[in-house]
Amino acid sequence: MSKKQYGVIGHPIGHTLSPFIHTRLMQLSGIDGEYGVFDIAPDELSEKFKSELSKLDGFNATIPHKQAVMRLADHLDETAELYGSVNTVAFVTDGCGRRVSTGYTTDGIGFVKALENAGIPLGSNVTIAGCGGVGRVFANTCAKQGCKMTILECEAAIEGTRSFAAELNERFGEGTAKAMLTSDFCGESDLLVNATPVGMFPKCDACVVGDSVINKAAAVFDAVYNPSETLIVKKARANGSKAITGMTMLVYQAAAAQTIWNGSEFDAKDIDILAADCFKELEKR
């Protein structure tokens, strides 16, 4: 039997950790497979989807393709419908020999699993800094779990954030979400989430919110995973709060993709070891 073929698409794709993570996950689950990297420009995606990607068993999608892939997949899972994006595509051959694709989003389950793994509950009062793609995934996930949230944004993007909060209130019930300027927020949080790139290497001395906000957060989740301890995480831990970066989420969302493709399941201890090894891998780059 030939090796299963997977990959990740993006543009620019850069030094992605996806091959490292998925190769290990396939080894853990006994899957004979290969995982490649495909740098595909947006204007080439439609043609490449038909000519190259459809020959794979599945692929992951990152910026800027998460929305465009939705329009190309034959079917969308409810996760893709909810989050309005696709980060995982699975291909199967139907009875007529045609390659049929289904799009999924595993970011939400990766987020929840990472919090569970760290012993961080999704409390009733969540603050999310950032309303980009990943911020919207976090917000929808929290709303689906019954949380109430405040979504923070800068002045230039606040109108879009208000519109998104209104969508959440319509979908999940009035009072689910409200939008605020980051500079105006000074409240308490059961969980404070950074869904922005603020604090990412090489600008490691930046923090998306001030110390007073961090001091009032029972727990912190930072989607940034490089460096291994971001400034917001460091500050939260110094206060005695539980705090994690996004590396475990990155591994869990990849594990969820492997579950979709191959039915694989993984132990939490294996995820922890792989996340630690990912940090070591980053240090080499």
Residues marked active site are found at 66
Task: Specify the residue for token string 């950790």.
Answer: 17
* Range 267-280 burial, b when 16+ CB lie within 10 A, else e: eeeebeebbeebbe
Q: Determine the Cα–Cα distance for residues 47 and 43; give it in Å rounded to an integer.
A: 8
- E-state strands within the chain: 4-10, 33-39, 58-61, 75-76, 88-93, 99-104, 125-129, 148-153, 177-181, 191-194, 219-222, 242-244
H/E stretch holding 117 reads helix 107-117
Directed axis angle between helix 107-117 and helix 268-283, to 10°? 100
